[in-house]
Structure 1
Amino acid sequence: MNHGFVAVGCATPPMHLANCQENARESFELMRKADSAGVKVLVLPELGLTGYTCGDLFYQDTLLQGAIDGLDTVLQATKHLDVVTCIGLPLQHKGKLYNVCAVIQKGRILGLVPKTHLPNYSEFYEKRHFTPAFAGLETVELLGQSVPFGTGITFACKDLPALVLGVELCEDLWAPISPSLHLACAGATVICNQSASNDIIGKEPYRRQLIAMQSAKLLCGYIYTSAGEGESTSDVVFGAHQVVAENGTILHQSRYDQGLHITEIDVARLVYERRRTQLLPTEQASITIPFSLPMTKTALTRYVAAQPFVPQGKEHRNQRCHEILMTASLGLKQRLIHTHAATAVVGLSGGLDSTLAILITALAFQMMGKPMEEIIAVTMPCFGTTNRTKSNAVVLAEQLGATLRTVDISSSVRSHFKDIGHNMDDHSVTFENGQARERTQVLMDVANQTGGIVIGTGDLSELALGWCTYNGDHMSMYAVNTSIPKTLVRHLVDYLAQDKRQTHLALTTVLEDILDTPVSPELLPAVNGEIAQITEDLVGPYELHDFYLYYLLRWGFAPSKILRLAEYALGNVYSRDVMVKWIKVFYRRFFSQQFKRNCLPDGPKVGSVALSPRGDWRMPSDAQSRLWLEEAEAL
């Protein structure tokens, strides 16, 4: 449970209809199995001690007493288990019958929650037997225990305050105003739903979407378990649908597969999102019942993307690439119209970032119906420029139909170094940044000369690390790549390289060669005509930095939790020592380089993570990194 991960389980035992003792046995055996597997919260199906389809047998005192005896059997058999379990039974109270979820742990009934919304249409006729939940809270005596009985109950873990459980039953989820809405507003971070939802054509995807949407709306985890084999098939069939969702994402789904299914909900992540968005109003629970759990380490089985900015699956990735390119090019289009820009000036290096910038510019020009020759592509070779990148820049500009201008800045940089007394053999930061600033000056002046604006090429990953020259490539008049991380830049360029609507053979060929070129600022002299300066050798793998950046900004995770996830997702690629080395570099650079981000030019936000000082990330330039680095150093 450290780092906020809680192992949760869905379990659909074989149903022995109206045989309460046999159902009790199936239930406690699954509870034992779940507990031994480290599960902390387990949800069993609706009316699991009797079966959902007992019909008019629910009128029989024998069945009702059998359910209570079955519950007693479960409590006695599991009195030493930590797992908090939702188990269903019919319960008579004040002459009325309720469809109830009993929340139990260590032989204790923590609370009883009745079903609020009873379906009474089509194949459902629950109001024939059951009464909807009453308002308020009462106490009932059951099996020698005084137990809270009613709706609005939350169950809070004393050892992990972020874990607060709420319960609703089946149809409650489908109601316009569901109990889970009020439970979430009362602090519940995980909603447990025991259900008996039959299977008909089209119902499964609708049910899954409903669960995902509920977890997204309420910023919660949602554990859903439905009835399966053994229920009566006289008129309907139950498929043991089990779903676990977290904030709109399906973590686990199974169907026609009875037994125990386990995944993990990150309750710390949910609490962070609620704190960040402040979307949920505050309500008071009817009562909050405490329980304790041992703070053990939760083994991770849930999916964690190695590249969280990059969608999985080609179709999904292509759809996302199209959306990003449309967003960025629409933003640029509006800026060009608003500024009455005659041209767009792009510094073209032959690298990935400047390639993406000019491709986005070309898309914006297509939208506007502007001639491509009004894109001014400027190549500015200097000491580190290789023939490969220079020729790729030339071919790219030509294939796009842009106006190509080559400005060799070598002599002006030498003159500048002479003016400030810098030795040409001193390849320090002055040597590198002098070239970057000279290039920016050229671009700005060309923009003035042609009545245009300079299009920025720097990406989100570079801005996070401060891997840009202040008042050099750091500056532009509109930065189209500003919220696109490096791991995604490659996929965007590849998408356009393969998009036959946008490219033809010659353009595809040069884009593929650019994709194959090592990432480099080319600010140090080439060696035998080859690139001498590989960015990732200097600042670390962008794959790691983008992973760290995503979980730092999007979820506010601490270094130790980020490293744990990195090991889980990327441990087959990088060793722990390598990850620790670069996470320290990441935090040092992220904090020390904020001054560059606090004066960024405008640029379109395309994803959930961005660093604009006017939008997503407001951080003082003088913020100290000590707390984060101390934790990183301890790793």
Structure 2
Amino acid sequence: MGRLMHVATCALNQWALDFNGNKNRIVESIRIAKSKGAKLRVGPELEISGYGCLDHFLEGEIYENSMAMLQQILEDKSLHDIIIDLGMPILHRGNRYNCRVVILNSKILMIRPKMHLANDGNYREMRYFIPWKKPLKVEEFVLPDEIAAIQGARKVFIGDAVLSTNDACIGVESCEELFVPESPHINMGLNGVDIITNSSGSHHELRKLETRIALILEATRKNGGVYLYSNQKGCDGDRLYYDGCAMVIVNGQIVNQGSQFSTTDVEVVTAIVDIEEVNSYRTSPSRGAQSQSAPEYKRIDVDFSLGQGETDLDLGVFPNKPQPLRIHAPEEEIALGPACWLWDYLRRSKSAGFFIPLSGGIDSCSTATLVFSMCRIVYAAVQEGNEQVIADVKRICGPYHHDDKWLPSSPKDLCNSILHTAYMGMASQSSTETRSRAERLAKDIGAYHTDLNIDLAFDAQRQIFTQATGFDPKFKVHGGTQTENLALQNIQARQRMVTAYMLAQLLPTVRQRDNGGGLLVLGSGNVDECLRGYLTKYDCSSADINPIGSISKTDLKRFVRWAAKSFDLPILDEFVDATPTAELEPITADYVQSDEADMGMTYAELSDFGRLRKEKKAGPYTMFCRLVHDWKDRASPREVADKVKRFHHFYAINRHKMTTMTPSYHAEAYSPDDNRFDLRPFLYPSFWESYSFKKIDERVALLEKRAQEGGKQ
């Protein structure tokens, strides 16, 4: 054991454009790191401005405000004696860069621009910034007057360089640079850089953490070194939830790991590392040979020591030991990620709570269960004495109790103040089973529930049409056409949306909440229904936000089944076992509407279509060829072809619906979110006349001919 060093990384709940709030959280994290003895602190990507500013990054004011926050941090002498790695946007020679600014004792040591920008899926960094295309090169950055006065110099280095302290060398990497094939950490490690920092704005996606961690571990597994991973956490103001999980890795092993989901705004993860362990790990002759031909970095000298000296041994201080990766099952990820996102949205929007149209089906049940999960998380934070959470709970819920000191006695008690639900039925079409399930679920989780029928509104709308046209539309079971049937279903669906918003606006008044404020209406359309377009435009899929809009029906069922046991809510099992139905058609002795029958495909098949379409980038013919193989034990080539063509037909004619869909929590890589993640046309030529469908038909004919010839032999 030789050179021991205390290092710190963190996960911060930053908010786009919340400059003062972001700065305060940064300062708090630095002070916590110092209190734990750390000499190096690393923060998330673009932490001063917030990562999700989007097109605001094109505004000069963003850069001025970020510099003003940097100035305040530089002026704070209580932040001395620790190297601080900050994230912020920088304007240099007319170009906008996503940068790390490394400071020590009120002086900027260097500015390191991001070299590889994230520009796919949810990310559009090339829209706002340019990458630093000068590897191993530095330039002089001219400081603003106020910063130059503090610096005692007009210029500092900006570019691709590393820091050389008295006892260690530090390199900087940013988010996407970890994911590219030729990552900067490779050459940094070959150049003898001991500690590499990575500052990220990486969002949560189901089953994604293991992939991210594998890359982080690999960064030092072959080459050795200390890797400090920092990530943003929370809802930054958009559809993404950044899931933290800051960690310290030494030679490919985790020595400390932060939480992936929590209500804590500032989380600091520290570790004691031994740089001599890095040197011992790097004794491989093949690595040494490669290091001789690696490109050379400019080293910026810093008269500062990260090590604590031999006194650590005398005080019984030792390096952190490796620990196993902590990871959540997908069901837990659903229970935690969207729930934390909902809490951030609620507390920052200044709303009075949530409203959910509770249908008695599994989708709205899942949404309600997520709010209850949020209440469990928040209640646990209250019990732990989290001051920020306690202040938010008092502000949001106090008016319901006419007591600004009120605190919940249980998650169910909290849910009663926050969550409002309503069953909006039709006398001839809503079953007693769904009405009962909705009422009992609301009771079991503590929601404030309302039960009502919308028959009067439906009948009035129908009569208005008949009076105007002389035509009386009928349901299919009463002899009407398919067009009439759909029109009458849509009246109900849209009337529920109108009623939902009225309830959301006025229920706080009904409950005598004294400071006003409406409820956020939560949507409950899942990713598969959005993909297929199996929903009415401007029905209850139209809401303020949707926590399940990017979660598959299959995963929702797994989550609800898990929550039934984990949350002690046996009522949830009834939702999983029930047949999915929209209940928009009259129930007769021999007919009950079924979602999967209406769609002509199962939810599991929709998941297959979605993943092939988005993740595998498959068109109709490619999808058919893949599924002929994958489904060979349960469907003939012609049956596969029929389903593939049916899917693409309905996907195409319903694409326009996605342009108006409620902003959803992003959780699935095949999400059809048109607003940012999945950019495609919404007016398609007929797939039935397409070249792809023609190729499918030709392929089916060939396969059937071969099968027939084989049978004759």
The structure where helix makes up a greater share of residues is: 2
Q: Structure 1 length as normaliser, TM-score? A: 0.48
